[in-house]
């Protein structure tokens, strides 16, 4: 394993990212109108506003309503969503859900398909990966509730309109500003009451962690399911935020759709389970992990996070799990790109620690 200097590493990142772009441009020419994943097909429509330079544009993904109804009704909902909002700058993209079920926007394939959309918009349309926003109305709002906490590392901010969270948890929203808009008279499925409850949950989380869980909850007086466009203010609210791809604290809660990576954390695939939690904090060169659910956690590193030429220390419950220099390697860079084609989530070093402290103590004795 070759250990890279910072300059060698920077060169490798540039070369591998440019190769990734070149390959994508050859293989994805037809994906400007439809995304395919396994058996799912997602048509997309988008329009560009403003004149921001390539690489600096925002991306707004806007999810239509409908759900468990006829394909023609969902098609009409998609057509409505295309013109529902206009933006000052960036790419406004409305996908058509790949199915016609009640869970339109939070089925497992959606996560992969949105990853692909974001990658393509970065590569082909010049989107800034730290300025990607998600909004949705009705069943699209259901999707925002469910999708964003489990994929929070993809979004700069998110906006939920007139939806219901079902069994979603807000824990993963620590670093993703989240706004909720619901009509005060939108009593179907208790959307109005549940929105207030989520506001209370987010308020409690923010009180316990004042640097996280930015949120805004607006219950629109006199409005039912349709808010007469009053929710449009959410788009401007979101644009004041940009994503931090390497925050100093990560709260990772696994939903029923699970993932093996979240921000700068990774979990072995054979250990992943629903409704489990990992929390990690970074203070300079020092990391602390909190989990009762996983025996192994991988910390992903790059030079924007730490000084890669100096030792780092990883602890859990005051026990040192690792202390030393983590090398920059081509393998770590390549694995990063394979996980996500996101230039701001390229990690150049990685270290896996055993968090089963009792097991370690038994070995030591």
pLDDT tens readout for residues 67-88: 999 999 999 999 999 999 999 9
201 shares a domain with 104 = yes
Q: Between 363 and 36, whose confidence is greater? A: 36
pLDDT given at position 29? 82
84 shares a domain with 211 = yes
Q: How confident is the model at residue 356 (pLDDT cuts 50, 70, 90)?
A: confident
73 shares a domain with 214 = yes
227-232 contacts at long range (C-beta below 8 A, 24 or more positions apart): 227/161, 227/162, 227/181, 227/182, 227/183, 230/181, 231/137, 231/159, 231/161, 231/162, 231/181, 232/85
Strands 178-183, 157-161: pairing is parallel
Percentage above 70 pLDDT, the chain: 97
Tell me what the mean pLDDT of segment 125-144 comes to: 98
Chain CA centroid to CA 124, Å: 20
Structure tokens at 51: 């004149």
User: Is 150 within the bounds of a domain?
Assistant: yes
pLDDT at 363 over 80: no
302 shares a domain with 189 = no
pLDDT given at position 105? 97
215 shares a domain with 128 = yes
Q: What's the domain range around 335?
A: 249-364
Tell me what the mean pLDDT of segment 6-17 comes to: 96
pLDDT at 360 over 60: no
Please report the sign of the dihedral spanned by the C-alpha atoms of residue 338, residue 341, residue 346, residue 351.
negative
Mean pLDDT of the chain: 96
255 shares a domain with 304 = yes
User: Is 79 within the bounds of a domain?
Assistant: yes
pLDDT at 2 over 90: no
pLDDT at 210 over 70: yes
If one counts every other C-beta atom within 10 angstroms of the C-beta of residue 364, the result is 6
Looking up residue 203, the CATH number of its domain turns out to be: 3.40.50.1820
pLDDT given at position 30? 83
174 shares a domain with 135 = yes
Last residue of a domain, one of 187, 218, 239: 239
Percentage above 90 pLDDT, the chain: 95
User: Is 244 within the bounds of a domain?
Assistant: no
pLDDT at 318 over 80: yes
> Would you say 265 and 297 are in contact if contact means Cβ atoms under 8 Å apart?
yes
pLDDT given at position 362? 43
Residue in 55, 43, 196 with CA at minimum distance from that of residue 126: 55
pLDDT at 361 over 50: no
102 shares a domain with 227 = yes
Burial of 280 (0-12, 13-18, 19+ CB in 10 A): buried
Last residue of a domain, one of 184, 212, 239: 239
Strand partners, 48: 91
- The model's pTM is 0.96
Query: CA angle, corner 230, sides to 225 and 236, nearest 5?
Result: 130
314 shares a domain with 207 = no
User: Is 212 within the bounds of a domain?
Assistant: yes
Q: CA Rg, the chain, in Å?
A: 21
* DSSP type of residue 4: B
Tell me what the mean pLDDT of segment 95-109 comes to: 96
């Amino acid at each position: 394993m070759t250990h890279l200097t910072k300059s060698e590493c920077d060169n490798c990142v540039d070369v591998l990212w440019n190769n990734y772009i070149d390959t994508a441009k050859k293989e994805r020419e037809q994906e400007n109108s439809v995304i395919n994943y396994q058996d799912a097909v997602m048509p997309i429509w988008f329009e560009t506003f403003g004149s921001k330079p390539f690489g600096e544009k925002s991306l707004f993904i806007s999810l239509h309503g409908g759900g468990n109804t006829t394909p023609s009704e969902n098609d009409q909902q998609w057509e409505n969503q295309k013109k529902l909002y206009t933006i000052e700058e960036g790419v406004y993209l409305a996908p058509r859900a790949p199915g016609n079920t009640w869970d339109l926007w939070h089925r497992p394939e959606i996560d992969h398909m949105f990853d692909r959309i974001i990658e393509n918009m970065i590569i082909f349309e010049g989107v800034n990966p730290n300025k990607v926003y998600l909004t949705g109305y009705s069943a699209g709002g259901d999707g925002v509730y469910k999708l964003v906490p489990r994929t929070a590392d993809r979004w700069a901010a998110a906006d939920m309109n007139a939806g219901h969270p079902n069994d979603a948890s807000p824990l993963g929203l620590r670093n993703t500003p989240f706004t909720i808009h619901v009509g005060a008279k939108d009593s179907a499925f208790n959307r109005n009451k549940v929105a207030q409850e989520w506001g209370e949950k987010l308020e409690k989380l923010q009180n316990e962690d004042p640097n996280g869980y930015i949120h805004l909850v607006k219950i629109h007086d006199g409005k039912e399911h349709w808010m007469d466009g009053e929710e449009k203010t959410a788009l401007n609210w979101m644009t004041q935020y940009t994503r931090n791809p390497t925050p100093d604290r990560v709260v990772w809660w696994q939903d029923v759709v699970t993932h093996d990576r979240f921000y700068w954390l990774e979990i072995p695939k054979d250990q992943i389970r629903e409704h489990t939690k990992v929390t990690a904090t970074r203070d300079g060169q020092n990391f602390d992990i909190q989990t009762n659910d996983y025996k192994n956690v991988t910390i992903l590193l790059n030079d924007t996070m730490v000084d890669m030429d100096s030792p780092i220390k990883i602890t859990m419950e005051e026990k040192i799990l690792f202390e030393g220099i983590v090398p920059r390697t081509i393998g770590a860079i390549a694995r990063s790109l394979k996980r996500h084609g996101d230039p701001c989530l390229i990690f150049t070093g990685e270290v896996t620690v055993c968090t089963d402290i009792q097991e370690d103590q038994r070995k030591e004795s």
